[in-house]
Amino acid sequence: MSTVRLAPVEPEHLPGLLPWFDDPETQRRLGGRDWPAREFALRSTVWTDEFRGRRVLRSCTFVALDDDGVVVAQVGGDVYDRWTVWDPATERVLATDPRRTMGAAYVVAPSRRGRGIGAATLRALVAAPETADVEQFVLGIEPDNTASLRAAAAAGFTALTTEPDAEDVVYLHLVR
């Protein structure tokens, strides 16, 4: 089983992260080179509005380091005051879960895929002191992304939804 440790993403990590977003699979799932910089910028955002019926309390973004201190993954997302099921067609909340929830996304260095780093990164996120107040972690994953679905399952995530939503993702969660 792979192990990693998390550290807050810093500007000096960006030159190493950006080439990952030239990888076609990464671009298809997360987008291009603006993704890591955007995640870094969100860390200092002060949120005042609700997003899809939930209030963003803070953003957390980390790099995952292997035993040699090499950046092997990035993980981050928003911590919300609650989780909601949003209907984009009606722009309404269909259901609410009152638990403090982190909606997270992650990427593994293309050269390190298939080695258990995704699952290790997700386990580290759940165990991080910065997320100690989070009661539920949620991942939105495209149904054809079998590697990510396997990594999430290996980290203890289970299905929250089974059918893709309007954005063509299924949701997995881990409740502590």
Q: Give me the mean pLDDT over the 9-32 stretch.
A: 91
Domain boundaries, the chain: 5-175
Q: Are 168 and 142 in contact (CB under 8 A)?
A: yes
Helices (H) and strands (E) in the chain, counts: 5, 10
> 5-175: which CATH number, 3.40.630.30, 3.40.50.150, 3.40.50.20, 3.40.50.300?
3.40.630.30
The per-residue pLDDT for range 50-105, each reduced to its tens digit, is 888 999 999 899 999 999 999 999 999 999 999 998 888 898 999 999 999 999 99
The per-residue pLDDT for range 121-164, each reduced to its tens digit, is 999 999 999 999 999 999 999 999 999 999 999 999 999 999 99
Name the 3-class secondary structure at 151: helix
Those residues with Cβ within 8 angstroms of residue 43's Cβ, 6 or more apart along the chain or in another chain: 8, 9, 59, 60, 61, 76
